[in-house]
Amino acid sequence: MKELERLKKDWNKHQNFPELSKEEIYKFLHKKSSSIVKWIFIISLLEFGFWLLIALATKNNEAQQRFDTYNVDHIMIPLMVIGYVILIYFFVIFYKNYKEISNSDSTKSLMQKILNTRKTVKHYVIFNLVFLFVSSIVGAAIEFSNNPDLKLTILKFENTNDLYIFYAIVIGITLISIVVLSAILLGFYYLVYGILLKRLKQNYKELEAIEVE
Amino acid sequence: MKSTNENEFVTLVQKHQNLIHKICSLYTKSDAEHKDLFQEITIQLWKAYPKFRGDSKFSTWMYRVGLNTAITLYRKSKRRIQSQNIDDFSYKIPQTEAYDDTEDQQLQLIYEAIKELNDIEKALIFLYLENKNYKEISETIGISEVNARVKMNRVKKKLKKQLNP
């Protein structure tokens, strides 16, 4: 392509950029970066914080206090330990991935590493949703077998032969709550990361396509 | 107070600043964006500077960080451009002036066509114009040498088609 060859020949001749002084360049060093890695890191920390807050917020509420009277520590403590161990595991992996991000890597490798940190947090959120689901079921089972008010309600429904309606309502409410919460979270991710990672994902796909072709 | 390290770094960036300008003018469409990207590339270079071991040329290392910033890390931030005080340095980006000679109209056209390519294609062409060989291009982008060559030929064809529809 002769036009491109000509452009290449004259490439540096025509580039008359005004020269920046040392002082001007020096000022840049102290400005804030707007890098997407910084934003992903901040948002990820907020996500970790969000789930931690949820765990702490539900710790001392009425239901929790009631649970304490049921003597179900053999179920609750392992569940809590598993939750925290997995949180630490995810955080370590996330931090390791984050530290590995280097802006002097090859373009493809840099993109891969950024996407990996994202993937870790995504897995963490999925784990939390599953954990929430399992905990809800375990919690409901404990309530059903220990809460005197609930026992009475079950008995009432049993007497009128409407027990299936009661269970249908309970399961329905649980499922709707989980679906609504998941939808809110997924909507949030779609919005935040959709905007933040759109260009990166497109470019990564482009690079992958080059390798496949 | 400026440290020796900062001084050394700023001197190197000032010496090779044209390279950053060239990336900025390819990847942005306005003066404000150009300035913003220039600043972000400088910040990213400074962040990576402790890892620069000097076993590669400073300019070679700049290509990587500069292109990575333009392609992957940089986020356009209108608010940031408006709020920061950047009036103290003003320059004209020769996006249209560079090749505005009537006899060089063809070159101006091809430069504009390159600016319309996608981010990865632009990077390939940029490195090609910078006289990098396929080994360097493949290492910078992170694809194989053969694939870099194949893709480059495709981009050239694409450009040709754009110029002679």
A138-169 pLDDT per residue, tens:
888 888 888 888 888 888 888 888 888 888 88
CA distances from A199 to A166, B76, B78, B92, B119 (A): 49, 11, 17, 28, 9
Stronger pLDDT, A187 or B123, i.e. the higher one: B123
Task: Say what the pLDDT of residue B89 is.
Answer: 35
Number of Cβ within a 10 Å radius of residue A147: 16
Contact B142 A105 (CB under 8 A): yes
Give A125's DSSP letter.
H
The rounded distance, in Å, linking the Cα atoms of B1 and B33 is 29
Q: How far is B29 from chain A (nearest CA, A)?
A: 15
Residue type, B34: H
Ordered by start, the domain boundaries in chain A are: 2-212
pLDDT at B86: 40
Biggest CA–CA distance in chain A, Å, is: 93
Q: What is the ipTM of this complex?
A: 0.81
Tell me the chain A residues in contact with residue B2 when contact means C-beta distances shorter than 8 Å.
26
Mean pLDDT of B79-106: 48
What are the φ/ψ torsions at residue A20 (nearest 5 degrees)? -85, 140
Q: Is the pLDDT of residue B139 over 90?
A: yes
pLDDT of residue B56: 72
**Rg, chain B, Cα only:** 17
Q: Please compute the mean of the pLDDT values over residues B70-78 and round it to a whole number.
A: 81
CA–CA min distance B71, chain A (Å): 8
**b/e B98-111 (16+ beta carbons within 10 angstroms → b):** bbeeeebeebbbbb
- Asked if A103 lies within 8 A of B38 by C-beta distance, the reply is no
What pLDDT is stored for residue B93 in this prediction? 37
By C-alpha distance, the chain B residue nearest A14 is: B98
Structure tokens of B63? 């290509």
A121 min Cα distance to partner chain B (Å) = 19
CB pairs under 8 A between A and B: 188
Distance CA B13, CA B45 (A): 9
The tokens describing A100, both together, are 């590995």
Is there a contact between B131 and A8 if contact means CB atoms under 8 Å apart? yes
pLDDT over threshold 90, residue B114: yes
The residue among B159 and B165 whose pLDDT is bigger is B159
Using the structure block, give the residue that is written with the tokens 């802006």.
Answer: A103
Answer yes or no: is pLDDT of A47 > 60.
yes
B27 neighbors B119 (Cβ within 8 angstroms): yes
Q: Give the contacts of A4 (CB within 8 A, at least 6 positions apart).
A: B110, B125, B128, B129, B156, B159
pLDDT (0 to 100) of residue B76? 73
- Residues within 8 A of B (CB atoms), A 32-71 only: 32-37, 39
Q: Is A107 on the interface with B (CB under 8 A)?
A: yes
Note whether A4 contacts B150, CB cutoff 8 Å: no
Identify the residue with better confidence: B153 or A57: B153
> B108 pLDDT band (50/70/90 cuts)?
confident
Comparing CB atoms, the residue among B43, B48, B72 nearest residue A28 is B43
- Interchain CB contact of A209 with B (< 8 Å): no
d(CA B109, CA B62): 27
Percent of chain A whose predicted confidence (pLDDT) is above 70:
99
